A and B are shown apart, each in its own frame.
Chain A
């Protein structure tokens, strides 16, 4: 008994009759993973930054809202959130919106769900990073901004956020790595991203080791690229800071 290695399997036409090879499946899975991760990241960054700023503002009510938001998304497992968005939300949304969602083709509904779910899940983590970054600044900076006559918005816009952002690049890079890895959970709601393509390939070819090697290589490639870009961004903003 032995495993029959066959790396040429990637060049074979796929078993479904589509005009594609198994390598084509893996590449299209990689594209879907990247697409979901980047679109979700835009949501995460926008919502997370807003929530993180709100968390540092004075005012108990706002603070409570933002803390509950973070707790909600951090205390429910990601796969449960995926299922909630995919199965429960369309049923619970009132009127035409819910009906429209239910009539989407499953693949599109899956991608849409994944983007929203990953975006909001990651936004709660971005919120915590932004809050930590803002709270790490000396109190005097905010006081100085306000006493110069800047409004609170201007203080955040011109004083606090530009400084905080520089320290936030490494933790946000690692959150971006997380969103890429977490996107593999989308395979459970039928999105054909990298992990799902490998499973599909195993179903058709039984070449499990090659399929897994391919997607692990894919994730490693993405991880490497993200780390290089993150480091470059870190360097760029640091240069700008020291060049003042």
Chain B
């Protein structure tokens, strides 16, 4: 017997799904900005002459890349509440799931952004640093004024590709029961017996958004040139 669809449930469920979409977008935006800034710091640590900083950055990236994201989310959901209560004195009403997901995603993405930015910095010819130093710039100035602007420009397409991956990965907050777009869709489906419709709808939404964003990235890639990164992603 073929499955009979009830697509009319989608409009009814839209308000709830939109609430989930807010969480999805919030995590994506926060992790994008915080992960990028932390990633830049890690990349500079990694490239610095200090053995300790470099080793720390290498260890950080290796550790986060060795553990599956669902496990990272679960660990943070477990660890962060205790840390927050001890250090930040959060008000009791705070949504621990949301805070721990935001922190976990920011720290996790930082490891990936660090590798991308490092590749970008390495793509700038070494002669440019020598030239900057010869002109009397300090190492910090040559990094800030000469190397980073070119490195970041070269990594724009890769950074955006990583952002699309991040947008998709936010759906994994399902494992800690945080109500993002996908989790809400799945829960509403289970509640109303419309799992098939809602999962198909959610899949179609992700597909459309990500396809459109990939097309934009491809455009930018043509414009910016940039390093190719099939092995980084």
Minimum C-beta distance from A224 to chain B (A): 9
Residues of B within 8 A of A181 (CB): 67-69
Determine whether the beta carbon of A83 is less than 8 Å from that of B211. no
Kindly specify which of B117-125, B145-153, B200-208 makes contact with the partner chain. Answer: B200-208
Q: Residue B60 at the A interface, CB < 8 A?
A: no
Check B66–A71 contact: CB distance below 8 A.
no
Q: Is B160 an interface residue (CB 8 A)?
A: no
How many Å lie between the Cα of A109 and that of B75 in the bound state?
28
Q: Kindly specify which of A14-22, A39-47, A73-81, A233-241 makes contact with the partner chain.
A: A73-81
A128 pairs with B74, CB closer than 8 A: no
Contact B174 A188 (CB under 8 A): yes
At the interface with chain B, which of A5-13, A147-155, A157-165, A213-221?
Answer: A213-221
Q: How far is the CA of A226 from the CA of B168 in the complex (A)?
A: 26
- Tell me the residues in window 48-66 of chain A with beta carbons closer than 8 Å to chain B beta carbons: none
Pick the contact of B196: A87, A171, A185 (CB < 8 A): A87
Q: Is there an interface contact between B214 and A184, defined as CB atoms closer than 8 Å?
A: no
* Residue total for A at the interface (Cβ-Cβ under 8 A): 41
* A212-B74 contact, Cβ under 8 Å, with A76-B207, A195-B68: yes
CB pair B169–A187 under 8 Å, yes or no, is: no
Contact partners of A105 in chain B: CB under 8 A: none
Instruction: Count B-side interface residues using an 8 Å CB cutoff.
Output: 33
Given contacts A83-B186, A181-B68, contact A208 B78 (CB under 8 A): yes
Separation of A184 and B230 alpha carbons in the complex (Å): 23
**Dominant SS at the A interface?**
helix
* Residue in contact with B214 in the complex, picked from A71, A174, A220, CB distance below 8 Å: A71
Which of B71, B199, B206, B231 is in CB contact (< 8 Å) with A215?
Answer: B71
Pick the contact of B230: A79, A129, A198 (CB < 8 A). Answer: A129
Contacts of B67 in A (CB 8 A): 181, 216, 219
A220 near B207 with CB under 8 A, answer no
A80, B75: Cβ atoms under 8 Å? no
Q: Does A223 contact B (CB under 8 A)?
A: yes
Contact flags B165-203 to A (C-beta < 8 A → 1, else 0): 000110110110000001000100100000110011011
Asked if B2 CB lies within 8 Å of chain A CBs, one says: yes
- Once bound together, how far apart are the Cα atoms of A132 and B228, in whole Å? 11
Beyond A80-B182, A208-B78, A219-B68, is A188–B175 a contact (Cβ under 8 Å)?
Answer: yes
Complex interface: chain B residues within 8 A of A88 (CB): 195-196, 199-200
B70 at the interface (CB under 8 A from A): yes
If A75-B211, A83-B195, A91-B3 are given as contacts, then 16 extra A-B residue pairs at C-beta distance below 8 Å, sorted by A number, are A71-B211, A75-B207, A76-B210, A78-B168, A79-B172, A84-B199, A92-B3, A171-B230, A174-B231, A181-B67, A183-B68, A184-B68, A185-B172, A188-B174, A212-B78, A216-B71
27 A-B pairs whose Cβ atoms sit less than 8 Å apart in the complex = A71-B211, A71-B214, A74-B210, A75-B168, A75-B206, A75-B214, A77-B169, A77-B171, A77-B172, A80-B171, A80-B182, A88-B196, A91-B3, A92-B3, A92-B196, A181-B67, A184-B70, A187-B70, A195-B68, A195-B71, A212-B71, A212-B78, A215-B71, A216-B66, A216-B71, A219-B66, A220-B66
